[in-house]
Amino acid sequence: MLRIAALSFVAATFFLSASAQEQFQCAGATVTIELDTTVPLRSTEGADVILRVERGPRSTILRYSNVDFVGGECDTDANHASRVIYQAVCGGSGCHDLSNWGVLDPESLQALLVPSDDSLEPAIALLGHKPMLKGKRMSVSAEAHRLRLPTP
């Protein structure tokens, strides 16, 4: 029995490391940010990113195309309510890498704000502070190449 559990853990660890994904908890919800590895790819520009927030049997799923970097974490607003914050940005010189913030309520699963070139100020208004990711954002291109997806 212990061997089966150990093998299951090793298999799960291998699967998670083989797929490009970030996962964290926020106020009882499970947040997963991952590449869509379905072939053929939907976009000719690269792999799509899927953001999934699950709470029990309910979920909110958002899909982003043509983003170069993505990341998220659990944060709190000025009223101490938990919020999922995430950033999905392109990587070129014309990209608004200080903006492009999204905010979700992990309890209602409602998208309060979706990333756009001018979403920084609305994110500050929702949170009561400037959003900031503590960790590195995932490079969509690097992860797509690591997974050997047919990307440009």
How does pLDDT run across 113-139, given as a tens digit for each residue?
999 999 999 999 999 999 999 988 999
Q: Write down the pTM of the prediction.
A: 0.82
- Per-residue confidence at 152, pLDDT binned at 50, 70, 90? confident
Q: How many CA atoms lie within 13 A of 97 on its CB side?
A: 9
71 in a structural domain: yes
Please list, in sequence order, all residues whose beta carbon lies within 8 angstroms of the beta carbon of residue 17, skipping any fewer than 6 positions away.
Answer: none
pLDDT over 60 (residue 80): yes
Give the tokens for residue 85.
């914050």
53 in a structural domain: yes
Q: How many residues does the chain have?
A: 152
2 in a structural domain: no
Cis peptide bond N-terminal to 122, omega within 30 = no
Residue 7: the pLDDT is 40
Give the tokens for residue 113.
């704000």
- Per-residue confidence at 41, pLDDT binned at 50, 70, 90? confident
Identify any residues that bridge with 71 across adjacent strands, giving them in sequence order: 87
The total number of structural domains that make up the chain: 1
Domain with 84 in it: 20-146
Residues 66, 99: Cα–Cα separation, whole Å: 16
140 in a structural domain: yes
Tell me the residue ranges of DSSP E strands in the chain.
21-26, 29-35, 49-55, 58-64, 69-76, 82-89, 101-104, 111-113, 138-139
